[in-house]
A and B are shown apart, each in its own frame.
Chain A
Amino acid sequence: AQSVTQLDSQVPVFEEAPVELRCNYSSSVSVYLFWYVQYPNQGLQLLLKYLSGSTLVKGINGFEAEFNKSQTSFHLRKPSVHISDTAEYFCAVSRVTGGGNKLTFGTGTQLKVEL
């Protein structure tokens, strides 16, 4: 079975400052890795994904994440945040092989960008 740990439940940051949201995962098999964003009263939107290849993945809205296999981490970063980035961010994994592509999510990190 897979599990995902998001170490920070809330991250406050000032506008234009850099931010890092941490994600660690546990799995006995190879996994794909994802970051989703959820704005208030909305569904989930895919920010970026790691499937294979380069460990540095770039996504939408200026976000990027780095896959570190030895540390089983997939931290999300943005060099300069905007007020509009205020939202809940979820890290998720799915198995590379085996039937189905279900996602296992972390508990989320609330990013609050302040002026």
Chain B
Amino acid sequence: DAGVTQSPTHLIKTRGQQVTLRCSPKSGHDTVSWYQQALGQGPQFIFQYYEEEERQRGNFPDRFSGHQFPNYSSELNVNALLLGDSALYLCASSFRPRQVFSYEQYFGPGTRLTVT
């Protein structure tokens, strides 16, 4: 049973560029959440997708956007990269049986983004 997978593992970008990160949820899961973890900090919630729509959003600017596909996989896009966007980006998946949120989230290994 494959867990949550993310790609790429590492990424180096220049300020002002755009980046796309990808996530495939655990088998059977339909909800994907994205978190940003800066060095030495706890993860911060960016947003959550289910039924292909953004359902919850944390305190992140509009430069951060996402998408969920019919197969439940998801992308995180960041435009106009800033040095402060350098972080580990974590994807987590869960499922909503009968429209009730599962309380347990499974995390992927993350994508390490470095902005120079």
Contact = CB atoms under 8 A, between A and B. Distances in A.
B105 A101 contact: yes
A43 B90 contact: yes
B48 A107 contact: no
Interface residues of A, number: 23
B102 A101 contact: yes
Given A43-B107, A43-B110, A44-B107, A100 B43 contact: no
Contacts of B41: 107-108
Contacts of A4: 42
A73 B31 CA distance: 29
Interface string A30-44: 001000100000111
Given A100-B56, A102-B48, A107-B42, A42 B109 contact: yes
A60 to B, nearest CB: 13
Contacts of B94: 101
A90 B101 contact: no
A99 B56 contact: yes
B61 to A, nearest CB: 18
B101 A100 contact: yes
A103 B43 contact: yes
Contacts of A32: 103
A105 interface: yes
Contacts of A105: 42-44
B42 A46 contact: no
Contacts of B108: 43
- Give the most central of A44, A45, A49: most B CB within 10 Å: A44
5 contacts: A90-B43, A99-B55, A101-B101, A101-B105, A107-B41
